[in-house]
Amino acid sequence: MSKLALKGLAKRFGAVAAVEDVTLDIAAGEFVSLLGPSGCGKTTTLRMIAGFLPPSAGTIVMDGTVISSPAGGVPPERRNMSMIFQSYAIWPNMTVAENVAFGLKLRKLGRAEVAERVRRMLRLVRLENLADRYPAELSGGQQQRVALARAIVIEPQVLLLDEPLSNLDANLREEMRFEIRRLHDEFRITTVYVTHDQAEAMVTSDRIVVMNLGRIEQIDSPFALYNRPRTRFVAGFIGQTNFLAGTRQGGDIRFQGFSVKAAFYPDAAALADRVLFSVRPRAIRLHRAEPAANATWCAPGRVSKRAYLGEAWDYQVMPGTGGAPLRVSLAPADLFNVDDKVWIEIDPKQIAHLVVEPAETPQEKP
């Protein structure tokens, strides 16, 4: 049985459907991120889980008991959940230790037990030397650790985080991603994390729920989402990619400007007449001469733009006789100049076959 289950969950504000038919099972101790752009419904979903908003349809079940439905639900304070907001919401007039102890004192625990749990928690979040400081004397990352400690110390059944790192600078965000994951591995609290930052979701999560326009597009592990996205939206939202749309004609797939052998794709039998692929920039290689036949897709091209990013070269290459440029990411030693003629090599084992929506048309011209 799942720890937390959302079943056909929906939320409407008048005629606007903010969340529509969200179904999700979260196992005990699992870390799940709700990922998507602004307005996709992820924060509304989190607030329904917390009990701040009632659902318009569907149910939320925890440990086999319905805690939310259109008919009513368990109040937020009785759900045994902790929530961390974007603003941290720590008390400015309390020290670090007093902030962390606040929830324990509300539960009327003994003074000795409160002191011991606070001491242990501050050690785990690496703030034991700052116990007597006030929030104004802390950095943003330290304040975020206080918020995490205060939420975790009460040992909630479910931990909810609503874009908790968005106020931090880039270096602190990167540090805190790993800190959040470390604390999760320490306590194994069932966690639901809302973010629009794919890097945060990739680092912290066991599974990621990609949302778009109030609905779930795909639920998968970070590795599977990046390497095997199922829709154009997921492929474009999770990292950088090239989209190749074409048509299957006999044994070939015709893209705009070049053709390739369909049989080189690992699951060629599943390809329909219209195809759409996600090709990551690192799945493409460039060569000065035509590569030897080795079951990859190859086509002539020309380097149209380049940018040096320190860790890699970012090239744009015009394929074949025309068509949209392909973005290619290569190591610094793989040096090509603008207007160099090259051969493009794509490894079909590293690309993803996407669902072709009815409105999508191939790039191939008749």
CATH number at residue 94: 3.40.50.300
Q: What is the mean pLDDT of residues 296-325?
A: 93
Residue 362 inside a domain? The answer is: no
Is residue 130 within 8 A of residue 53, CB to CB? The reply is no
Residue 193 and residue 52 share a domain: yes
pLDDT of residue 220: 97
pLDDT of residue 355: 86
Span 21-70, pLDDT tens digits? 999 999 999 999 999 999 999 999 999 999 999 999 999 999 999 999 99
Residue 198 and residue 64 share a domain: yes
Cα 11 from Cα 180, distance rounded (Å): 29
Residue 300 and residue 163 share a domain: no
The last residue of a domain, from among 205, 233, 261: 233
**CATH number for the domain harbouring residue 306:** 2.40.50.140
Structurally, how many domains does the chain consist of? 2
Is residue 245 within 8 A of residue 361, CB to CB? The reply is yes
The last residue of a domain, from among 206, 233, 260: 233
Residue 245 and residue 145 share a domain: no
Q: Where are the alpha helices (DSSP H) in the chain?
A: 42-50, 96-106, 111-124, 140-152, 170-187, 198-204, 222-227, 232-237
Residue 186 and residue 76 share a domain: yes
Span 232-277, pLDDT tens digits? 999 999 989 999 999 999 899 999 989 999 999 998 888 899 999 9
Stated length of the chain: 366
352-353 vs 274-279, strand pairing mode:
antiparallel
Residue 330 inside a domain? The answer is: yes
Residue 254 and residue 187 share a domain: no
Residue 97 and residue 195 share a domain: yes
What integer best gives the mean pLDDT of the chain?
92
Q: What is the mean pLDDT of residues 99-118?
A: 91
Residue 359 inside a domain? The answer is: no
The last residue of a domain, from among 203, 233, 263: 233
State pTM to two decimals: 0.89
Residue 39 inside a domain? The answer is: yes
pLDDT of residue 295: 87
Residue 56 burial by Cβ neighbours in a 10 Å radius (0-12, 13-18, 19+): middle
pLDDT of residue 173: 86
Residue 219 and residue 286 share a domain: no
Span 162-214, pLDDT tens digits? 998 887 888 888 888 998 999 999 999 999 999 999 999 999 999 999 999 99
Residue 366 inside a domain? The answer is: no
Residue 339 and residue 287 share a domain: yes
Residue 360 inside a domain? The answer is: no
Residue 201 and residue 247 share a domain: no
Residue 179 inside a domain? The answer is: yes
Q: Does the pLDDT of residue 358 top 80, yes or no?
A: no
Residue 163 and residue 63 share a domain: yes
Residue 284 and residue 155 share a domain: no
Cα 325 from Cα 320, distance rounded (Å): 10
pLDDT of residue 108: 86
Identify the H or E element spanning 307.
strand 297-308
pLDDT of residue 360: 53
Residue 364 inside a domain? The answer is: no
Q: Predicted confidence band at 362 (pLDDT cuts at 50, 70, 90)?
A: very low
Domain that holds residue 278: 241-353
